Amino acid sequence: MKYLTKRNLSVIIAVILSMLLSIILIITYVFRVTQINPATTCKTINNVSIYSEDNNNNRVKGAQKYKLPYTYVCNKNEAEATVEFNINKNEDDFLFFGTIYCPLRIYADDEIIYDYGLINRFPKIFVDPPTNFESIKIPDRFKGKTNIKMVYEKPKTRDAIRVYAPVVGDKNAINAKLFTDDGPSFIYALCFFFLGIMLFFASFAIIHLSPKAEALVWTGVFLVAAGTWQLCENTLVTYFVQMPEFLYIFDFLSFYMLLIPLSEDMQVFINDKESPFLNVAVIVNVTSYIISLLLFVTNVCPLHQQLPYFHALLIMTLILITINITYKAFRFNNRRAKTFFFPFLILLIFTLFELLRYRVNSSYHISSFFQLGIMLFMSFLIIYSTIHVRSLINAVVKNTELKQQLKYQSTIIQANKAKMDLLISHDDEIRKQRHDIRHHLRTIDEMIKSGMETEASNYIQDIADSMPANTSINYCDNTIVNSTISYYISHAQEKGIKTKAKIVVPNSNPNISDVDLCIIFGNLLENAIDACKHLENIPKIISINAQVSGEMLFIYMDNTYDNEIKIIDNVYQSTKHDGAGTGLTSIESTAQAHEGSAKFTTKNNHFISEVCVRL
């Protein structure tokens, strides 16, 4: 897309809104289809007994009552923890459960019905099995009161076992409960993900027009990374996708890269590419990300064990960015920095709360507060990006208009220069003729006295023929518009193009400037000359007529052409570059800005332009 028109912008916005609406409708549909009263068809098991054993199956800790969810911390002698509870098993009952980095075995009445994360189940880079949420059907041979034991093996990379409350009941009821609990965050994450993709690709439509559009690229990357992270953190996604290895990798890698586009974004948004704070933040985060990936693929350190470092890096980066924004906002009165001050402060506060919660609960998840802070910040970023896009488009449009005005002001200057050169040459010729007039008059007087009236008449005619002719043509009363029209018609005649012009343009017009009129006439004639100058088998003709009716100026122009005309979505495409024709687009926008219109049609190798504007 060479030029971002209002039509193209409308298409982009329509696509984004359609995608969002589609996502919401799909989620709403799935939610309603699966919505069964969870309270009557499934049961969450919150009260359980937990005991632990060593590698020789000797009990280390006896059974104690716990309320789930709970983080069970193992000592060095404990090899596994068993969660035990009884259920009243009904027909077609399912058991929903989750495990975080722990191999898991499930028994019903001491008979194993499920295992997860045992040896060779995952590639060697996974020291412990990745997080997974799943449901299994309890075999029909178990009926009535059934004892369930969930045996969590102690992970190799940590001492804590996070035990989530299992759910027993109808499969659809379990699905409905998951949608109720995790559906909203899933929808938010999906919306942010697709918005990021849309913004990322839409930014390339205008990035070549304005370097400031780079901020939209980084905003798109940030939204995609944040959306991916939140999707991979979502229990609903883990449950339905059932690809724990990939979700584990995308979860941590997307979280670890969040601060890279965020730091780059701030550099562009607040126009601070030279900031040492932001440059250090970018370098440290990129280096950490690369090292993290290398440590993982070489089986030196799992991604989740690197989390404490990235927690510290997260806080340090946010503090650096906040300090830099504060400094720019209040030291240099940077308006954009002031705009981002409070959103970043809120994100920093929510992050501190989240890390405090993480330390207290010893859970690997960084969610709740931080996700809420990220969502609030992303919502602000989307709103600001929308405003930024609009300002960029307005700046591009204004810049294009200024270029058009400068172009035709230059044309006017050239036309006036040519007229001045003509006047100077006429003046020199007249001065010369005046110098010789006395000699001519004496000669004529002698001829008359000698009775040579015929010779005297011929001599006078010769003098008259040698006087310079006035070759300047006035096409209309408006001197500035006349200069533009004269310039292009003269240029057309030099190309061997037959021209016909009948133009009425008043000298004073309260509703439209002379420059805008020059833009319309100049673009019409320039396009016509380009279409005619290479014609061989078709006459080269340009005919332009402009008349005033009331307060409206009506322009009709007809020129011959033989090039192939490309029309996409009722918009004529340029023959010089990809995209819409700049001249026709400029004519149309200028006419619409002055309560008028522009229409372009073709018929039998004739290109017809009809334009009207309010004078």
H or E stretch including 99? strand 94-99
Most confident of the ranges 12-21, 214-223, 240-249: 240-249
Q: Rounded distance, CA 201 to CA 203, Å?
A: 5
Using a pLDDT cut of 90, give the percent of the chain over it. 33
pLDDT at 468 over 80: no
CA quadruple 70, 71, 72, 75: dihedral, nearest 10:
-160
Contact 81, 74 (CB under 8 A): yes
Other Cβ atoms within 10 Å of 188 Cβ, number: 19
Using a pLDDT cut of 70, give the percent of the chain over it. 80
Please state the pTM of the whole predicted model. 0.65
- Structure tokens of 38? 């969870």
Q: What is the mean pLDDT of residues 420-442?
A: 62
What is the predicted pLDDT for the residue at 344? 82
Most confident of the ranges 470-484, 547-561, 592-606: 547-561
pLDDT of 196-240, one tens digit each? 888 788 777 767 666 667 777 888 898 899 889 989 989 999 999
Tell me the longest C-alpha to C-alpha distance in the chain: 152
Q: Rounded distance, CA 264 to CA 282, Å?
A: 7
Contact 1, 205 (CB under 8 A): yes
pLDDT of 398-429, one tens digit each? 776 667 666 666 666 665 555 555 545 555 66
**Closest residue by Cα to residue 304 from 253, 262, 353:** 253
- Structure tokens of 545? 């007529």
Cis amide linkage into residue 103, ω under 30° from 0: no
Q: Rounded distance, CA 285 to CA 268, Å?
A: 17
Full DSSP string of 251-275: HHHHHHTTHHHHHHHHHHHTT-TT-
Instruction: Work out the mean pLDDT of the chain and round it to a whole number.
Output: 82
- Structure tokens of 86? 């009884």
Q: Rounded distance, CA 466 to CA 415, Å?
A: 26
CA separation (Å) from 353 to 42, 208, 209, 224, 273?
33, 41, 42, 24, 30
Q: What is the mean pLDDT of residues 45-71?
A: 92
Q: Rounded distance, CA 401 to CA 394, Å?
A: 10
pLDDT at 43 over 70: yes
Residue 26's pLDDT band, with cuts at 50, 70 and 90, is low
What is the predicted pLDDT for the residue at 513? 87
User: Residue 214 corresponds to which amino acid?
Assistant: E
What is the predicted pLDDT for the residue at 88? 92
Q: Rounded distance, CA 281 to CA 322, Å?
A: 12
Strands of the sheet containing 552-560, edge to edge, are: 498-503, 541-549, 552-560, 606-614, 597-603
Residue 29's pLDDT band, with cuts at 50, 70 and 90, is low
Only one residue has tokens 């953190």, namely: 233
Sorted by sequence, the CB contacts under 8 Å of residue 414 that are 6+ apart come out as 487
pLDDT of 340-386, one tens digit each? 888 888 888 888 887 777 666 544 444 567 777 877 887 787 777 77
What is the predicted pLDDT for the residue at 422? 54
Contact 132, 116 (CB under 8 A): yes
What is the predicted pLDDT for the residue at 4? 45
What is the predicted pLDDT for the residue at 598? 92
CA separation (Å) from 517 to 201, 412, 484, 513, 524?
37, 12, 10, 7, 11
What is the predicted pLDDT for the residue at 139? 92
What is the predicted pLDDT for the residue at 3? 42
pLDDT of 546-578, one tens digit each? 999 999 999 999 999 987 777 766 667 766 656
Other Cβ atoms within 10 Å of 221 Cβ, number: 22
pLDDT of 320-343, one tens digit each? 888 888 888 888 888 888 888 888
